[in-house]
Structure 1
Amino acid sequence: MTLSTEAVAGLATDVHLPDGDGPFPAVLVRTPYDRRRHRAELRGWARRGFAALAQDVRGRYASPGEWRPYENEAADGAATVRWIRRQAWSDGRLVAAGGSYAAHCALVLGTRPDARPDAVIAAVPALGAAETAREPSGPERLWTRAAWWAAHGDRPDSDEDALDKSLAADPALLTHLPLTGLPERLGRSLPSWPGLWRRHGRGRLLADAERAGMPLLAVGGHHDHFTEDTVALWRRWGGPSARLLLGPWGHGLVSRPGPDARPAHRLDLGGLYARWARRALAGDLAPGHHGAIALGDSPWWLPAGTEGAPHAPDLRLLRGPRFTADPARPVRSGDLTVPADGPPDRCLLVTPPLPRPLDVVGPVRVHLRATADTPSADWAARLVALTPKGTAERLAVGIVRRERPAGARTEFTVDLGRLARRLAAGTRLRLEIAGHHFPAHARNPHTGDDPVTAVRLLASRREVDPAGVVLRLPVLTARPAPTDPAKEILR
């Protein structure tokens, strides 16, 4: 096997060729996170007979130019694909692959009729700037975007711990207003930071996915912040086949297992990717949408698309049908403890202990009937498992922004994302309804101003009708029929 570094379309590219004369199918990874970190991955592809390439995107690491996230990837990727297909070692077939931002780079190639890949592997895909910055109803994903921009924004290299180091020096870093002033508090220039929050267009990549003409392998984790995007991509993919692999993992997939991961959920993703790519390029995949999802806290994998029937457990009010959502003292996203005294800052409800294990598979929703005394109000719902061992574990979170006349009682639904989890007998479920989920999400200032540019905060009085709170869990009514994830991916 040989490794060389080339200037491909003017961008630094590692090319790892297998032994032998070829020609070979190719795998392309385009990344802003340093192509050299992929050399072991390239060797793995090459051992399996693929010409493997990793490229620094424009303006990052060894590639020249200006780094503008999400702006140049379709054109630069297409130029790279055309170069690959002109090489003597290329048999013309190409798989675009990557995780997170690199998955975005792979996916946008599907929109280029002049340089489309023959197959796409998209792991924990970051679909676009607007999708990564906000929830569908508007609340800003502050923590993840601040951490990403501090680490990678407006610089040719990365400092993965930039935000953590700044928080160590100033623990109140993210509470200072306005949020557009964050670069000054970080101590460096971030000219693209304000522009991130001006992007509101969502769904373009998903719309393009409906017209895709090649197979897809979408991989995600139940504990990843892009889980819903991964599933939506799989559902809407218009190519001849689409496969979904969803495990009890975080954004780092098998390297970041969640607390509900079990030995059966440890997979050789690299080997599975290569086997899928071979079948995809040979046209040997069955048509349609298939895949596997792991059932956390169990040894099982289930066929993708498995969902339970709606079940509404009994909820008992603990405290706080009337509470104050004060952005100066917001409910913290990383703290599962609940204040036992003082004025309530959230509404708390709890179920009785589960009489038997419960397999929850599918989207979780909370229906509310509630009132806010400010026209703009965020409503955050957090579901927590109180285990028989005495521990508390976050299961799901959702947040919506509502614009309604002050004091108007309204009914609405908060989507908490997807669960695939076995809950042990004796577990109690605690549902928290609050006005903030900070710093995971920016604080609604309740003034009607944009939370990113606001400089003034107001408290908001809330009232929740306990009789109007309905938690809907998708519960399997029969013992799940397990499957083999490799069988589902490679069928």
Structure 2
Amino acid sequence: MNPIPLSLTLADGVRLDADCYRPRHRPLDEPLPVLLMRQPYGRAIASTVVYGHPTWYAAQGYMVVIQDVRGRGTSTGEFRLFAHEAADGAATVDWVAQLPGSNGRVGMYGFSYQAMTQLYAAAGRSPALMTLCPAMVGYDLHQDWAYEGGAFLWQSNLGWALQLAAETARRRGDEAAFLALVRDAQALPVGDRVPVQPDRLRQLAPDSFYWDWLNHPDPRDTYWQALKPDLAGVDLPMLHVGGWFDPYLRGTLRLYREAQRGRSPQQLWIGPWGHLPWGRRAGSVDFGPTAISPLDRVQVQWFNRILKGETTPDAVEAIQAAPVQWFEMGGQGWRQSHLWEEDPPLQYGFRGTGLGSMVGGELRPLKSGNGEGCPEVQVTPETQGTPETQGKPEVYVTPEVQVTAKETGVPDVIVHDPWRPVPALGGHAAVPSGSFDRSALDDRADVLTYTTAPLDRELVIWGEAVLRLWCWSSAVSFDLCGVLSVVRRDGVFNICQGYQRLGIGEPGQRRSLRLQFQATGQRLRLGEQLRLSLSGACVPAYAVNPGTGENPDAAPRLSAQVITIAIEAGTLAFHLS
């Protein structure tokens, strides 16, 4: 249990401290492959919130090195989010490959920040680095970590900024600042004049990454491009890990799809987990003992095959198994397959009745190309053109289909009141994450619901569902949150959600919207129902849109308006497994 302390002094004089674990009763000079983790939370933690302790990994015949990144733990230098991880990571890989007792073959593992440090280290293209196991990684920092659908991920970003700022205050011995930041982290400061810009964080951590992320909302900004790991020419075997309720699943999928273009083996595991822990429960739902993470043993078998060259059945299976191992919630547990296609086929349509917020509307299957089964919403093959409104049914041209809403009917209306916005509950973007009974939320008059009839056959929905609809609003800008749930006798349990911010437009202008949901894998059984819920907010997961055209992340609370959103018709597309 007592690690060997090690230190690497970089060319600029910064010292990076690490702990080294080796198997007991093995000579210290016996050459072993190295498992490396680089993390910012104090190396004694070693990601044990989701992984086995490094002593367990060492006992499997490895030299395990857990390093504090620059400016964290006891390492010296200044911590700047991701700024030094490429150069420091590459230097560390070369260093551990040459340590006494190393055989020169290095693999890396870790989740979240520790997954990003793997990618940055890989950009150094060291021949010693043989494989990566990145878990729950926000690969594109803008689209997969900081923002979703154009909206800043307020709760998760603020909570993380407070955690890192508190650690900075602790390192410099500022107890007053440390305690103030800890208190805010335990009860987020959401009541300031500009809610997304809390006064105490600005006062105590003016150099936090949080302000950089707020000040660069455009994904094309050079700020984001400079932070993207340069993986051009990198082709390494990777074991990818995600969770259906993890906020960074988008990044895990993006990295996996990109890595598949190379020649090295890639494998993806997706469990029924939030960011942490990786246990049998996510939210209020117990997915059973098989949901408990098998990843420690899976990773060791992966490392055994690549770093040791083992040919045992388990080691060979680790590489040759189906490329995607995913947990079917509500059903069979772990399954194997290939990844779904990115563009799902249409499955259901819905149409406003005027009472979607009171008694709910119907979500009806689209049984054929002419809309049979949901005659109010028609779909036809794509043709060239744009939305037409002069003397014709109004048509929304998407990359795959047209959605035609007949002129009869009354739209369903959401009245979003910033005094009592719809609160976040579970899903992937809120804390805590996971699946909860949202029956009370769906009873609110500012939530529209569309529900299928009780199913006469079982459905397994998986992949990224896509919602397309026509809507208009009283405001120049507004948000829309969509949630998919399974309706059972014991409640309404969310399975995935999506969020989209609509930019500046004329009040009352009919607008098309495409909302992509977080990927999911869910079995719906006979008699259960699928429900789509729509609202104009999801607070504090995302900040309230004031509706004035101001940047919601800089708008004072006083400017927030009541917003009316009308939903006319739409379609819901998803894959069936």
Task: Please state which band the TM-score falls in when normalised by the shorter chain.
Answer: 0.7 to 0.9
Matched, 1:472 2:573: yes
Q: Which residue of 2 aligns with 1:485?
A: none
Question: Contact 1:77–1:109 (CA<8 Å) still a contact in 2?
Answer: yes
Where in structure 2 are the equivalents of 1:213-252 lying within 5 Å?
213-237=235-259, 238=262, 240-252=264-276
Instruction: Pick from 421, 441, 444 the counterpart of residue 330 of structure 1.
Output: 421
Equivalent position amino acid for 1:319 in 2: G
CA 1:232–1:181 in 2, change beyond 3 Å: closer, same or farther?
A: closer
Q: Which residue of 2 aligns with 1:275?
A: 301
Instruction: Pick from 305, 314, 319 the counterpart of residue 356 of structure 2.
Output: 319
Could you report, residue by residue, the CA deviation over 1:324-379 in whole angstroms, capped at 9, with x for unpaired residues? 223332211128323757xx423322222222322112111111110122222222
CA 1:168–1:145 in 2, change beyond 3 Å: closer, same or farther?
A: closer
Equivalent position amino acid for 2:3 in 1: L
| TM-score normalised per structure 2 | 0.74
CA distance in 1, matches of 2:67, 2:133: 16
Q: Which residue of 2 aligns with 1:294?
A: 327
Instruction: Pick from 287, 311, 327 the counterpart of residue 261 of structure 1.
Output: 287
After TM superposition, the structure 1 stretch with the greater mean CA deviation from structure 2, 177-186 or 416-425, is 177-186
Where in structure 2 are the equivalents of 1:393-408 lying within 5 Å?
393-403=493-503, 404-408=505-509
CA 1:214–1:288 in 2, change beyond 3 Å: closer, same or farther?
A: farther
Structure 1 residue 472, shift from structure 2 partner: 1.9
Structure 1 residue 131, shift from structure 2 partner: 3.8
Structure 1 residue 165, shift from structure 2 partner: 4.3
Q: Which residue of 2 aligns with 1:489?
A: none
After TM superposition, the structure 1 stretch with the greater mean CA deviation from structure 2, 123-132 or 365-374, is 123-132
Where in structure 2 are the equivalents of 1:80-479 lying within 5 Å?
80-114=92-126, 117-127=129-139, 129-131=141-143, 133-153=145-165, 155-156=167-168, 165-166=183-184, 173-179=189-195, 181-184=197-200, 188-192=204-208, 193-199=210-216, 200-201=218-219, 208-209=230-231, 211-237=233-259, 238=262, 240-255=264-279, 257-258=281-282, 259=285, 261-281=287-307, 290-307=323-340, 310=345, 312-313=347-348, 315=350, 318-320=355-357, 321-334=412-425, 336=438, 337-338=440-441, 344-389=445-490, 391-403=491-503, 404-455=505-556, 456-465=559-568, 468-476=569-577
Structure 1 residue 386, shift from structure 2 partner: 2.0
Question: Contact 1:24–1:89 (CA<8 Å) still a contact in 2?
Answer: yes
Instruction: Pick from 82, 97, 101 the counterpart of residue 70 of structure 1.
Output: 82
The answer for unaligned runs of 5 or more in structure 1 is 477-491
CA 1:387–1:447 in 2, change beyond 3 Å: closer, same or farther?
A: same
Structure 1 residue 215, shift from structure 2 partner: 0.5
Question: Contact 1:124–1:219 (CA<8 Å) still a contact in 2?
Answer: yes
Matched, 1:24 2:52: no
Higher-Rg member (1/2)? 2
CA distance in 1, matches of 2:99, 2:16: 16
Could you report, residue by residue, the CA deviation over 1:217-243 in whole angstroms, capped at 9, with x for unpaired residues? 001111111112112211111351111
Structure 1 residue 62, shift from structure 2 partner: 1.4
Structure 1 residue 248, shift from structure 2 partner: 1.2
Equivalent position amino acid for 2:67 in 1: Q
Equivalent position amino acid for 2:550 in 1: D
Equivalent position amino acid for 2:501 in 1: R
CA distance in 2, matches of 1:46, 1:426: 49
CA 1:47–1:339 in 2, change beyond 3 Å: closer, same or farther?
A: closer
Question: Contact 1:127–1:205 (CA<8 Å) still a contact in 2?
Answer: no
CA distance in 1, matches of 2:334, 2:475: 45
CA 1:421–1:162 in 2, change beyond 3 Å: closer, same or farther?
A: farther
SS of equivalent to 1:369 = strand
Count of aligned pairs: 469
After TM superposition, the structure 1 stretch with the greater mean CA deviation from structure 2, 24-33 or 279-288, is 279-288
The answer for unaligned runs of 5 or more in structure 2 is 10-14, 172-176, 310-315, 358-411, 427-437
Equivalent position amino acid for 1:184 in 2: R
CA distance in 2, matches of 1:166, 1:249: 26
After TM superposition, the structure 1 stretch with the greater mean CA deviation from structure 2, 184-193 or 295-304, is 184-193
CA distance in 1, matches of 2:564, 2:76: 52
Equivalent position amino acid for 1:454 in 2: A
After TM superposition, the structure 1 stretch with the greater mean CA deviation from structure 2, 322-331 or 56-65, is 322-331
CA 1:256–1:194 in 2, change beyond 3 Å: closer, same or farther?
A: farther
SS of equivalent to 1:94 = strand
CA 1:47–1:217 in 2, change beyond 3 Å: closer, same or farther?
A: same
SS of equivalent to 1:125 = coil
Equivalent position amino acid for 1:255 in 2: G
Structure 1 residue 129, shift from structure 2 partner: 4.2
Equivalent position amino acid for 1:353 in 2: P
CA distance in 2, matches of 1:376, 1:440: 18
CA distance in 2, matches of 1:134, 1:101: 13
CA distance in 2, matches of 1:340, 1:42: 48
Question: Contact 1:384–1:394 (CA<8 Å) still a contact in 2?
Answer: yes
CA 1:162–1:421 in 2, change beyond 3 Å: closer, same or farther?
A: farther
Percent sequence identity over matched residues?
A: 25
Question: Contact 1:319–1:349 (CA<8 Å) still a contact in 2?
Answer: yes
After TM superposition, the structure 1 stretch with the greater mean CA deviation from structure 2, 304-313 or 428-437, is 304-313
| TM-score normalised per structure 1 | 0.86
Equivalent position amino acid for 1:36 in 2: A
Question: Contact 1:250–1:257 (CA<8 Å) still a contact in 2?
Answer: no
CA 1:366–1:116 in 2, change beyond 3 Å: closer, same or farther?
A: farther
CA 1:367–1:132 in 2, change beyond 3 Å: closer, same or farther?
A: closer
Question: Contact 1:125–1:230 (CA<8 Å) still a contact in 2?
Answer: yes
CA distance in 1, matches of 2:290, 2:180: 35
